[in-house]
C-alpha cells in the first residue's frame, strides 16, 4: 500500500511538473497569438479607421473653408448695402463699423471653427490609440487570468487527490497496519 501511495505521489508530482512546463509553453503561445492578432487584424483596422477619419476631417476643413468664403462674400455684400442703415441691430452695427472690423470678426470665427475641428481630430486620434492599447492589454489580462484559473483548478484537484489518498492510507494504518507492507 505504501508503494502504491508513493507511486501515486510521484505521478502527481510528475503531472504537476508537466502542467507547469506546459503552462509556460501555452502562455508564450497565447502571447504570440494575441500579438499576431493585434498586428495582423487590429492594427490594420485601426490604421484604416485613422486614414478614413483623417480624410473626413480633411473634407470637413474644405467645407469649412468654402463656408468661410461664402460668408465673407455675403458679408461684404451685406456691408456695402447696409452701411449706415439705422434698422440694423446694435450688435451687428458694431461689426459693420468698417470692412476691417468685419473681416477680423470673420477671421476670428474661422480660426475658432478650425481650432474646434483640429481639437476634435486630435481627440479622436488619441482615443482610438488609447482604445487599441487598452483592448489588447485587457485581452491579455483576461486570457492570462482565465489560463491561471484553469491551472489553479488542476493543481487544486491534484492536491485534493493527494490528500484523499493520504487519508485512505492513514485510515488503513489505523484499521490494519500490516496492510501497508
Question: For residue 125, what pLDDT is reported?
Answer: 95
Domain count across the chain: 1
Map grid coordinates 482565465 to a residue.
Answer: 146
Residue 60 belongs to domain spanning: 2-172
Compute the radius of gyration of the chain from its Cα atoms.
37
Examine residue 43 and state whether it is found in any structural domain, yes or no. Answer: yes
Examine residue 122 and state whether it is found in any structural domain, yes or no. Answer: yes
Examine residue 165 and state whether it is found in any structural domain, yes or no. Answer: yes
Examine residue 181 and state whether it is found in any structural domain, yes or no. Answer: no
Examine residue 180 and state whether it is found in any structural domain, yes or no. Answer: no
Residue 144 CA to residue 140 CA, distance in Å, equals: 6
In degrees to the nearest 10, what's the CA dihedral of 45, 46, 48, 49? 120
Question: For residue 180, what pLDDT is reported?
Answer: 61
Question: For residue 133, what pLDDT is reported?
Answer: 93
Q: Which of 146, 147, 135, 128 is nearest to 38 (CA)?
A: 135
Examine residue 80 and state whether it is found in any structural domain, yes or no. Answer: yes
Q: Which of 173, 176, 158 is nearest to 10 (CA)?
A: 158
- Mean pLDDT for back-to-back runs of 10 residues, the chain (181 residues): 79 88 88 88 92 97 95 86 75 76 88 96 96 92 89 89 85 72 62
Q: What is the pTM (predicted TM-score) of this model?
A: 0.67
Amino acid at each position: 500500500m505504501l508503494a502504491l501511495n508513493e507511486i501515486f505521489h510521484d505521478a502527481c508530482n510528475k503531472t504537476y511538473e508537466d502542467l507547469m512546463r506546459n503552462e509556460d509553453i501555452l502562455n508564450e503561445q497565447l502571447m504570440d497569438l494575441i500579438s499576431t492578432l493585434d498586428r495582423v487584424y487590429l492594427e490594420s483596422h485601426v490604421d484604416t479607421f485613422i486614414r478614413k477619419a483623417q480624410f473626413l476631417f480633411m473634407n470637413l476643413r474644405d467645407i469649412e473653408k468654402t463656408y468661410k468664403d461664402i460668408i465673407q462674400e455675403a458679408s461684404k455684400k451685406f456691408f456695402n448695402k447696409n452701411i449706415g442703415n439705422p434698422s440694423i441691430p446694435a450688435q451687428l452695427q458694431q461689426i459693420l463699423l468698417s470692412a476691417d472690423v468685419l473681416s477680423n470678426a470673420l477671421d476670428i470665427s474661422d480660426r475658432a471653427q478650425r481650432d474646434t475641428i483640429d481639437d476634435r481630430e486630435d481627440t479622436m486620434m488619441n482615443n482610438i490609440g488609447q482604445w487599441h492599447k487598452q483592448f489588447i492589454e485587457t485581452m491579455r489580462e483576461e486570457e492570462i487570468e482565465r489560463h491561471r484559473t484553469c491551472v489553479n483548478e488542476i493543481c487544486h484537484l491534484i492536491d485534493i487527490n493527494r490528500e484523499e489518498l493520504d487519508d485512505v492510507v492513514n485510515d488503513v494504518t489505523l484499521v490494519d497496519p500490516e496492510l501497508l507492507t
